[in-house]
Amino acid sequence: MSRHVSIVTGASRGIGREIARYFASHGYDLILVARDEAKLAEVADALRAEFGIAAEPIAVDLSDLAPAARAILDAVDRMGRLDVLVNSAGIFRFGTSIAEVEDIEAMLRTNVLAIHNLCKACLEPLQKSGDGRIFNISSIAGVEPFAPVGGYAASKHALVGYGRSLAREQLPSGVKVTTLCPDVVDTDMGAGSGMRPEEMIAPADISRAIDFVMALSPAAVVEQLTIGCKPPKQGVRAEA
């Protein structure tokens, strides 16, 4: 039987890259997805060399819905199976009442529609796995209001609602869906928060959360998990 296979989007940097490394360290073959072809190839090469797994980079814009789903499903066919889908890719734009309509539209397309697009496309192979998993990376902004980032919060609230509903819909199929809602993570995206690295969540904490969920008994269901961090000693959190 072939090794387990995981798709990780946003795998060229930050949380996605850390999650890809986690699954590689557990012997999963990988389908790595991001827009930056060069960085994605570097990540794939490094994981192959370190862990001896197969890693196929797919450089696509996930907001280009039909071509993205087609490219990723073609990769699943080549791998021969799919066990885990991790939707880590996302974008951030500042603003609430001052937010441009185009920015909110872009966030909804990438942070919600693109994720639904992949979930829908991947459900059949995940159901065939017998223990399929979907992890959607949302944000604490998906469960709390933040005055300066209403557009971003709207997209992440939508993702939480979608993910929890999908989790309940898919229980009879055997596919478990968990939406993770971390506070500010020590990544490029978190750099504008005004927080020091030691006050932020480490990227590896997201992998540890996934490990925790996957280690639970078969009867356990975790629809949504929020991970907080220390409040900043100065400045205002701009994003999560």
d(CA 210, CA 107): 24
pLDDT score at 199: 84
3-state helix, strand, coil in the chain (%, to 5): 50, 15, 35
Residues 6+ apart with CB under 8 A from 228: 140, 183
Q: How confident is the model at residue 195 (pLDDT cuts 50, 70, 90)?
A: confident
Q: What are all long-range contacts of 71-79, with beta carbons under 8 Å and residues at least 24 apart?
A: 72/7, 72/31, 72/33, 72/118, 72/121, 72/122, 73/121, 73/122, 75/7, 75/31, 76/5, 76/7, 76/31, 76/122, 76/125, 79/2, 79/5, 79/29, 79/31, 79/54
Domains and CATH numbers, the chain: 5-227 (3.40.50.720)
- The rounded percent of the chain whose pLDDT value lies above 90 is 87
Selecting among 22, 28, 152, 162, the annotated active-site residue is 152
Q: Is the pLDDT of residue 82 over 50?
A: yes
Residue with more model confidence, 194 or 226 = 226
Alpha carbon separation from 64 to 73, 76, 134 (Å, rounded): 14, 18, 21
- Read off the pLDDT of each residue in 5-11 and give the average, rounded to a whole number: 98
Q: For residue 24, which of 1, 6, 2 has the smallest C-alpha distance? A: 6
- 233, burial (CB in 10 Å: exposed 0-12, middle 13-18, buried 19+): exposed
From the DSSP assignment, how many helices (H) and strands (E) are in the chain? 7, 7
Active site residue 152: yes
What's the pTM value of the predicted model, to 2 decimals? 0.93
Residues 6+ apart with CB under 8 A from 224: 143, 160, 163, 164, 178, 179, 180, 181
